[in-house]
Amino acid sequence: MKIKESAENYLETIHILNKRTGAVRSIDIVNELGYSKPSVSIAMKNLRENGYVLVDKDGYITLTEQGRQIAETMFERHTVISSWLMYLGVTKQVAIDDACRIEHVISAESFEALKKHVYENKELF
């Protein structure tokens, strides 16, 4: 199932915050992304209704298996693409910003080829 880029960004952010702090609430997403509380609240409602996240009675957000798979895919794409761009000489911030856009539109086939190339040339990084 294809989901919107914004949903992928939210799932990836939840994944990153969970790795960083172990627990995620909506306010953490607000602070990380700089979005308004109402925007994040609506996004969490949509993600919950579509089966990507669970929100417990205390407001803690966890990824479902489906949400986790998408988040990990986006995170891997972001990490590989930004590292590759920095290796090519792109400044860190530009590489991060560009990777954030590219990760959503690159095909699985192209990404796998890029990832294979990057990992075969690990000594370059």
Average pLDDT over residues 47-68: 97
Q: Is the pLDDT of residue 125 over 60?
A: no
Q: Is the pLDDT of residue 35 over 70?
A: yes
pLDDT, tens digit, for every residue of 3-25?
A: 799 999 999 999 999 999 999 99
115: its two tokens: 């990832």
One fold for 5-69 and 75-124: no
Average pLDDT over residues 89-103: 95
Q: What is d(CA 34, CA 2) in angstroms, rounded to the nearest whole number?
A: 25
CATH of the domain spanning 75-124, picked from 1.20.1260.10, 1.20.1440.230, 1.10.60.10, 2.30.30.240: 1.10.60.10
Closest C-alpha among 84, 92, 91 to residue 110:
84
pTM, two decimals, is 0.88
Cβ contact 100:63 at 8 Å: no
Quickly name the fold that domain 5-69 has: Arc Repressor Mutant, subunit A (1.10.10)
> Which sign, positive or negative, has the C-alpha torsion 61, 64, 115, 21?
positive
> Which sign, positive or negative, has the C-alpha torsion 62, 66, 105, 86?
positive
82 or 123, greater pLDDT: 82
For residue 53, what are the β-bridge partners?
A: 63
Sorted by where each begins, the domain ranges of the chain are 5-69, 75-124
